[in-house]
DNA sequence: TTGTACGCGTTATCAG
DNA sequence: CTGATAACGCGTACAA
């Protein structure tokens, strides 16, 4: 790999002249300019980005940490973020927090980017809080967190879940099971709280036997239903903490010959793209993923600009009634 | 941000002592060791990854360039890659080639990673070829490309398209339109070639009026069908260059009151997750995305190890017959 | 066992 | 207009 030094030598000028030329600085004579370009081309010179970053402190990059890069519903989120980052002339690099979250944690600590957007519950809040600095703002999307340089963009999970729960209740269902996400997930906690609230405000009770762990995965939802079916206790409806579990649940139900929504209703949470294509189409709570991404990125840049008025944001969800809840 | 210097000062030792200690070097007295750790903790010292990379040349990171990070069918691919990278103790960072591909191109040229996996037709082959070096191997997944340090993992598009085309023909369809992807896409070219071959080997002709541009997007497929319908020329079947276009096409067809497959059959290519959930479920050609990712990453690491026996790989597709082609 | 000094590839400052 | 030279933060011979 040719360095700036090689170019300087070949062109017969000094390193600084090369740098000036290549960076479009005006104070370079046309002749030298030509010599330098020629040498650079011959050597196929490409500036070393790492060295550049080391010097300039700014990497012109924002990082995005996802708990699993291959997740289904990040598309819109990423689009929202990207819209803003490219508009600001920044790059976006994404990495996943898979496998003990070792690597992104390192990335965060080592600050290879100018800022971070995090949506990965397996990254420690403590780590995040102390990683945020004046020149390294962080936006979190999966929990509420706020310190000097860390803010959150979240969704009103509680309210969303309340609405969905109430819709189910109003439709006549009373024995409703909750398919839960991981216990360390704030999203899950809030959604459950909202659901519970809806139940209680209608004089209904949420019994522990109907709080079933599904780990936010399709498999988990599938297993949960099979487990219940094996015990011959099935609720009238399932409230899934996310769409993936709802999908798994519906699959299991179908296999068991139980019709949705005729026999059992199902609602989900997230409104992933697939939701509209399930059979029957899934009633769910829509998270404005694009808006979240857009908002998070916008705030991040304001933070980068030293704007002290930035505050955390909570966005609203929207209940999307389709067919799986039997009320349409 | 505290630097190694600050730690040295606070601990009352030299910079190198700090470095030695923190890097687990044995030759440091227990006392000094303690002093250093204490100072480091107090200052919340974190080594600057950028500086480290500059020195050590290895970044322990592989980059993944996608034409659009938010694309639908990358999940499996990423899982396959990640499996291998984490096993090798490497990080994976992904970036998209959106917006003129300026940024990833920069990333590639500037070599901020130890290697690259590219699936983005908007990145110039020429750029890729000359970026690959001894210590910077590149794997491309969306075209055939092979030079000293660049290899490809592709799928037998031609064969896959041939099979799907033949299946359609065997099912009795004769007037078949091809929904095309971008003209600069090798995938598209090969798929079309395979389709054409199937047609011709059955004495059928492919007329230009039935090669319709859909740009590999859902919207494009939708528009293509509407356009044809407006001219009152509809084929008996659509062969879509990818599933997204097939999805758009089916949507348009449905809107027009045309039944799939009763009135018009549709087949796609890729087998994205959604394919099985469309109505009717889409007959398509499955690309082994996980395997592609896994293979690409594996070869990349072999290249990184200096293995000279690495060659490009072509994987097989599989025809997935569902209902949209009317033969089930 | 510890410290000094240099290099990694750039950019920026400041003379000349 | 051009060229030394000093940083950036770290690792590491080599010397002490």
Q: Closest Cα of chain A to B134: distance in Å?
A: 10
CA distance A139 to chain B (A): 19
> Is A209's Cβ below 8 Å from some Cβ in B?
no
User: What span, in angstroms and rounded, lies between the C-alpha atoms of A153 and A139?
Assistant: 7
Through-space separation of residue B17 CA and nucleotide D14 C1' in angstroms: 14
Q: Best of A22, A45, A50 to disrupt the B interface by mutation (most B CBs within 10 Å)?
A: A50
CB-CB under 8 Å, A273 with B274: yes
Higher local confidence (pLDDT), A108 or A269: A269
CA B110 to C1' C7, in angstroms, rounded, equals 20
In a domain, A218, yes or no: yes
Give the structural domain span for B270: 157-287
Distance CA A56, CA A54 (A): 6
pLDDT computed for residue B265 by the predictor: 98
Closest-CA distance, A79 to chain B, in angstroms, reads 6
Q: What is the pLDDT of residue A103?
A: 64
pLDDT in tens, B97-130: 765 445 666 777 777 788 999 998 878 888 888 7
The integer distance in angstroms from the CA atom of A34 to the C1' atom of D2 is 15
Residue whose structure tokens are 């069918």: B73
- Apex B22 CA angle, B17 and B23, nearest 5: 100
Closest nucleotide relative to residue B17's CA, C1' based = C2
Which A residues 16-45 touch B at CB under 8 Å?
44
A134 CB neighbour count, 10 Å cutoff? 11
User: Which chain A residue's Cα is nearest to B79?
Assistant: A70
Q: How many CB atoms lie within 10 A of CB B163?
A: 17
Residue A27, burial from CB neighbour count under 10 angstroms (0-12, 13-18, 19+): exposed
Tokens representing B169 are 């023909």
Residue A104 lies in a domain: no
Nearest CA to the C1' of D12 belongs to which residue? B16
How far away is chain B from the Cα of A48, in angstroms, using its nearest Cα? 5
Domain-embedded: residue A217: yes
Rounded to 10 degrees, the C-alpha dihedral B238/B216/B124/B149 comes to -70
The pLDDT score that the predictor gives to residue A195 is: 98
**Are the beta carbons of A50 and B46 separated by less than 8 Å?**
no
> What is the C-alpha separation between A78 and B172, in angstroms, rounded?
43
Question: For testing the chain B interface, which of A69, A120, A129 should be mutated: the one with the most B CBs within 10 Å?
Answer: A69
Q: Compute the mean pLDDT over every residue in chain B, rounded to the nearest whole number.
A: 90
B254 touches chain A (CB under 8 A): no
**What average pLDDT score do residues A113-141 get?**
87
The CATH number of whichever domain residue B219 belongs to comes to 3.40.50.2300
User: What are the tokens at A287?
Assistant: 């998270």
Phi-psi bin for B204: left (phi > 0), alpha (psi -120 to 50), beta? Answer: beta
Structural domain includes residue B208: yes
Question: Which protein residues have a C-beta closer than 7 A to any atom of strand D?
Answer: A 12-17, 20, 26-29, 31-33, 51, 54-55; B 1, 3-5, 15-16, 19-20, 22-23, 46-48, 51-52, 54-56
Residues 73-112 of A with CB under 8 A from B: 74-79, 82, 86, 91-96, 98-99, 103-104, 106-107, 109-112
CA atoms within 13 A on the CB side of B241: 28
Residue A111, in any domain of the structure: no
What is the DSSP track for B184-238?
Answer: T-HHHHHHHHHHHHHHHHTT----GGGEEE-TTSHHHHHHHHHHHHHTT---SEE
The answer to whether A270 touches A285, Cβ cutoff 8 Å, is yes
| Predicted local distance difference test score (pLDDT) of residue B297 | 96
In window 24-83 of A, residues with CB < 7 A from nucleic chain C are 45-48, 51-52, 54-56
Mean predicted lDDT score pLDDT of chain A: 90
Please state whether beta strands A150-155 and A211-213 pair in parallel, antiparallel, or not at all (unpaired): unpaired
Q: Closest protein residue to D5 using CA and C1' atoms?
A: A16
d(CA A233, CA A235): 7
Q: Give the closest nucleotide to B16 (alpha carbon vs C1').
A: C3
Total number of domains in chain A: 2
How many angstroms separate the CA of B1 from the C1' of D5? 26
Instruction: Check residue B98 and give its pLDDT.
Output: 62
Report pLDDT for B300.
96
Specify if B183 maps to a domain: yes
CA distances from B250 to A272, B115, B167, B209 (A): 20, 40, 19, 20
Q: Answer yes or no: do B103 and A82 touch at CB < 8 A.
A: no
pLDDT digits (tens, 9 = 90+) for A213-254: 999 999 999 999 999 999 999 999 999 999 999 999 999 999
* DSSP-assigned letter for residue B270: B
- Over residues A191-211, the pLDDT tens digits come to 999 999 999 999 999 999 999
> Rounded distance, CA B36 to CA A58, Å?
29
3-state helix vs strand vs coil in chain B, percent to 5: 45, 15, 40
Q: Are A106 and A95 in contact (CB under 8 A)?
A: no
Do residues A144 and A313 make contact, with C-beta atoms less than 8 angstroms apart?
no
- Determine the pLDDT at residue B100: 44
Task: Report residues of chain B scoring pLDDT below 50.
Answer: 100-101
In a domain, B212, yes or no: yes
A56 touches chain B (CB under 8 A): no
* Assigned domain for A51 exists: no
DSSP label of A138 = E
């Amino acid at each position: 790999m040719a360095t700036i030094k090689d170019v300087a030598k070949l062109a017969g000028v000094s390193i600084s002249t090369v740098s000036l030329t290549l960076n479009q600085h005006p104070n370079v004579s046309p002749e030298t300019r030509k010599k330098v370009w020629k040498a650079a081309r011959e050597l196929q010179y490409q500036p070393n980005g790492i060295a550049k970053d080391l010097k300039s402190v700014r990497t012109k990059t924002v990082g995005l940490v996802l708990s699993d890069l291959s997740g289904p519903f990040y598309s819109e989120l990423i689009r929202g973020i990207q819209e803003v980052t490219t508009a600001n002339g920044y790059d976006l690099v994404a990495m996943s927090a898979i496998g003990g979250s070792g690597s992104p944690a390192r990335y965060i600590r080592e600050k290879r980017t100018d800022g971070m957007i995090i949506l990965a519950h397996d990254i420690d809040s403590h780590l995040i809080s102390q990683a945020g600095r004046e020149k390294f703002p962080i936006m979190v999307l999966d929990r509420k967190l706020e310190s000097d340089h860390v803010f959150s963009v979240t969704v009103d999970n509680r309210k969303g879940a309340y609405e969905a729960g109430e819709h189910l209740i109003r439709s006549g269902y009373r024995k409703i099971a909750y398919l839960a996400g991981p216990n360390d997930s704030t999203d899950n906690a809030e959604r459950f709280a909202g659901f519970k609230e809806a139940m209680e405000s209608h004089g209904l009770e949420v019994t522990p036997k109907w709080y079933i762990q599904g780990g936010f995965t399709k498999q988990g939802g599938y297993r949960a239903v099979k487990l219940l079916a094996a015990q011959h206790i099935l609720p009238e409806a399932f409230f899934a903490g996310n769409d993936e579990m709802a999908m798994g649940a519906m699959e299991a139900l179908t296999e068991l010959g139980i019709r949705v929504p005729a026999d059992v209703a199902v609602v989900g949470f997230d409104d992933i793209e697939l939701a509209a294509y399930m059979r029957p189409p899934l009633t769910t709570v829509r998270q404005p993923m694009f808006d979240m991404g857009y908002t998070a990125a916008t705030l991040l840049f304001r933070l980068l600009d030293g704007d002290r008025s930035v505050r955390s944001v909570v966005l609203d969800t929207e209940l999307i009634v389709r067919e799986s809840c039997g009320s349409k």
